[in-house]
Amino acid sequence: MPVYLKDVDNFPELEGIGSALIIPCRFCPAASMAVRRDEPYFQFLTRFLKTPSYEELITSMKSNLEKMGIKTDIFQSRWLHQFVLCMWTKGRRKHLARRAANYEALVVLGCEAAVDTVHGSVDTERSRVYMGMRSEGIMSVLPRVSLPANLSLELQKVTPLVHDTADEVGWGKL
């Protein structure tokens, strides 16, 4: 039941910002990219817990922000228990707060829960939080295993999320 996410193509709100930290969740966004591109979610023997299409998106986003003159870095998650951003431990959130203090903008690649986790973990007077992806719905997927040790997700259905535009906060306003 991962959230189906679409990436934001451009970031006009970041014009004039000097520095940005990209904070990727490694669960729903990676699953969304794998499903959208019909590529493996995990290739355990060659990339272990990294989804190639999602890694390309992160690299491309970093490059695009740097072309805008923004000093950009990525908040890496290397351990399995750090992959689902909305389930980060108190210690992981404190680590993010220390790192985020050096950046004007924090671009979250994840759902609204991921954005809320980041927003609640950092000093928002110092660093503004931006959504780098938009939730479209909840995915129903069928896992498929193929040789050599690949895990793919076959999209069965996306159940749309109902967004109340009266209560919606623009991604630049968080």
Tell me the CATH number at 35. Answer: 3.40.50
Please answer whether residues 121 and 93 qualify as being in contact, where contact means their C-beta atoms are separated by less than 8 angstroms.
yes
Can you state the angle between helices 112-121 and 90-100, rounded to 10 degrees? Answer: 70
> CA-CA distance, 102 to 14, in Å (whole number)?
16
Residue 165 lies in a domain: no
Encode pLDDT of 101-149 as tens digits: 999 999 999 999 999 999 999 988 889 999 999 998 998 888 888 877 7
At which residue do the structure tokens 């909305």 appear? 86
At which residue do the structure tokens 């794998």 appear? 34
Strands 71-74 and 105-109: unpaired
> CA-CA distance, 97 to 121, in Å (whole number)?
6
Say which DSSP state 2 is in. Answer: P
Phi, psi at 97, each rounded to 5° = -60, -40
Name the pLDDT band for 174 (thresholds 50, 70, 90).
Answer: very low
Residue 167 lies in a domain: no
Please answer whether residues 101 and 126 qualify as being in contact, where contact means their C-beta atoms are separated by less than 8 angstroms.
yes
Residue 156 lies in a domain: yes
Residue 55 lies in a domain: yes
Residue 58: which residues within 8 A CB-CB, separation 6 or more? 22, 24, 74, 109
Residue 170 lies in a domain: no
Number of domains in the chain: 1
Residue 78 lies in a domain: yes
Residue 109 lies in a domain: yes
What pLDDT is stored for residue 168 in this prediction?
54
Q: Which domain holds residue 83?
A: 3-160
Show the DSSP H helices in the chain as ranges.
28-37, 52-67, 90-100, 112-121
Residue 42 lies in a domain: yes
| Average pLDDT of span 35-39 | 88
